[in-house]
Amino acid sequence: MSAANANSVVSSGASVAVDSDAYLLSPIVMNGGALTVAGATISGHVYGTETVISGGIAIGSTINGGQETVSSGGRSLDAVILAGAQSVDGGVVSGATVLGADYYSTVGSDTYGNALQTVASGGVAIATTLSTGVATNAQGLVAYHTAAQIVCAGGVAIDTVLNGGLSAQFLLMNTWWVTGLATETVLAGGTAIRTVANVGGAIDVHAGGTASDTSLGGGSLALEAGATYGGTVTFQPVAEPPNSGQTGPYTSGSTLTATISQTSAMTIVGFNVIGSVYYAYQALKPLAGDTINRIIVSDLTFAGPYGEIDRGEIGPDGTLTVIEGDARATLHLSGAFGSEFYFQRAPDGGTEITYGVPCYCPGTLIATPDGDRPVEGLAIGDLVLTASGALRPIRWIGRRSYNGRFAAGNPDIMPVVIRADALGDGLPRRDLTVSPLHAMAVEGWLVPARLLLNGRSIVQQSRVARVDYIHIELETHDLLLAEGVPSETFIDDGSRAMFHNAVEFAQLYPSTRNEVADARFCLPRIEDGPALEAIRARLSLIAAKQTDRRAVAGYVDVAADGVIAGWARSQLLPGTPVELVVRRGSVEVGRVAANRRRADLDALPRYSGAYGFEFRPDDESDIAGLTVHEALSGVRLRLSGARERRVAV
């Protein structure tokens, strides 16, 4: 075309060129059509391909699932790439918006609906904003479509902004987080300058790639060994979710992963903000998230085991030195730091550094008429569900904290951890942490937790940064359900003064100031004798079975609509199908072999697909009351919380 044209349509199979002395207003390029721009196009809609060559300029093009290529000497301004692709092959792109699709895709793991910007050799992308697309299906599940930028050798990306997403998902009895990713990948020879990674944003700089002056606002920066970094890494403040996280929008802390040499060459700004834990609530399982910032030194091997925490303080020159074994990392931090730093083992074996908070620990879940709630989220007057099924209001909540240095090695203070299923019958449902003298109801007796220690399934912590205890009091002594386990409420046997907020009780109930505490327990309490030894012997047998649990891997994925299904595999004899027993309470309902092939298990490199099972009982009225156990050990398969293992059958 050699003249000005408006509203031109490039049909499928057609090829149109805009000459150097022409411009085209609002062209529409249909799927299968091709438009070559040597002059100018304005506000085009491209479902096929648009190629901007030397001397050409495309202004405000919308690439709807199509492809825009900007060659050397060509320019593209303010393009919108909606579930399409933009290739910067030597040209210059400025102000592009790269968006994943905002509709729900049923294609599965395909790239359908994702959006991509590729910056090739000689190409420059300035001020690109990448955002994930988000949609909700009929079940209320959120699906994200990725927006990605790849910076190849010789390509340069400047002022890129990555906006991902974070959603809390609830289905059946499972809760889990889903992250929508907006990514920037810098390959060897590529360069990224001043990238901003917000929640769901992820920057990955490969060996030979270069990045500088990155900002993290809830996203992550990972520098692989051999990558080059210059300038500062800025941890931006992240807003706390509204309403304690119950309704979203959800946020997260930021994470920097780098080697010893990379961290020593950068200045870290904004790491002095102390994050917190929040919960996305639903009736069965509150889901914990946090806004805690983390630095992971990938090649500094943490000298202690998982769960151990070291501490340190920043020097007067703004230098934090972390020593693990014979290795050390030096971090240069800018900001005012008044609290301690905490060091612990990262999932990959490196060292994770946090500030002001040692780690994220989910709160103990207490049964209420509205479902399980974290104990720290309860308030005076809230109703709780007792072991007898009664609903009773909270009269008072006692709180006490200890510094880890003071508590270390003190058996009367250090927490006792009762591992999941340590008491039998699937209880507690998760690891339960209590004070040593806190009594559990076991076989009709109240037994202090410290008397149940066995070194395997019930253990006492030896080293923590901080100990926080919360105790609930009702009008009379009773049993709450903590992680499903009957656990005593507070009873004033003269010990109320141990709590930091003891004065609060007197203020709330002034008429009780002269009353003598009536310490009547709801069950008999034992601290020795044959009944206690019998309990300890039974729990030791359970602990031995828990050791056997590692020999059987598996989950129940579906327990609804008349079917219970999942997968199980013998770790010791992976070629032998696992025999499973389906029970309702203590009554065997049937047996099934885990030998069905499932496509989703084939897709996971760790598992063969021949370990699935499906069981349909004759009586389908109470499918939720069924449990599945490995026949030999009796180990119960738990409900899956991992999204990739959840399938429809």
Higher-confidence residue of 299 and 618: namely 299
Q: How far is CA 608 from CA 96, 165, 597, 643, in A?
A: 43, 32, 8, 18
Looking at residue 173, its pLDDT comes to: 60
Looking at residue 386, its pLDDT comes to: 95
Looking at residue 38, its pLDDT comes to: 59
CB 249 within 8 A of CB 266: no
Looking at residue 16, its pLDDT comes to: 60
Residue 426 gets the label, from left (phi > 0), alpha (psi -120 to 50) or beta, of left
% of the chain surpassing 70 pLDDT: 76
207: which residues sit within 8 A by CB, 6+ positions away?
Answer: 188, 224, 225, 226, 227
Looking at residue 482, its pLDDT comes to: 92
Looking at residue 339, its pLDDT comes to: 64
Phi (first) and psi of residue 375, to 5 degrees: -60, -35
For 465-507, give the DSSP string.
Answer: SEEEEEEEE-SS--EEEETTEEEEPP--SS-GGGSTTHHHHHH
Ordered domains of the chain (ranges, CATH)? 9-166+177-212 (2.160.20.20), 365-527 (2.170.16.10), 547-646 (2.60.40)
State how far the Cα of 432 lies from the Cα of 442, in Å rounded to an integer: 15
* H/E run at residue 600: helix 599-602
Looking at residue 94, its pLDDT comes to: 96
State how far the Cα of 607 lies from the Cα of 117, in Å rounded to an integer: 34
Q: What average pLDDT does range 156-160 have in this prediction? A: 98
The pLDDT-based confidence of 95 (bands split at 50, 70, 90) is very high
What's the DSSP call for residue 318?
S
- Region of poorest pLDDT, from 11-15, 47-51, 165-169: 11-15
pLDDT at 473 over 60: yes
Burial of 550 (0-12, 13-18, 19+ CB in 10 A): exposed
pLDDT in tens, 113-140: 899 999 999 999 999 999 998 877 766 7
Higher-confidence residue of 238 and 305: namely 238
pLDDT at 247 over 60: yes
pLDDT in tens, 76-88: 999 999 989 999 9
Burial 559-579 (b: 16+ CB within 10 A, else e): beeeebbbbbbbeeeeeebbb
pTM tops 0.85: no
Looking at residue 436, its pLDDT comes to: 86
Sheet containing 626-630: which strands, arranged edge to edge? 587-594, 578-584, 626-630
Within a 10 A sphere around the Cβ of 644, how many other Cβ atoms?
Answer: 11
pLDDT in tens, 377-436: 788 899 999 999 999 999 998 877 776 666 666 777 788 888 878 898 889 887 788 888
Q: What average pLDDT does range 18-41 have in this prediction? A: 61
CA 428 to chain centre: 22
* Cα angle: 359, vertex 364, 370; to 5 degrees: 130
pLDDT in tens, 193-238: 999 999 999 999 999 999 999 999 999 999 999 999 999 999 998 7
pLDDT in tens, 546-577: 655 446 778 888 888 888 888 888 765 666 77
Looking at residue 644, its pLDDT comes to: 29
Do strands 327-334 and 319-324 pair parallel, antiparallel, or not at all (unpaired)?
Answer: antiparallel
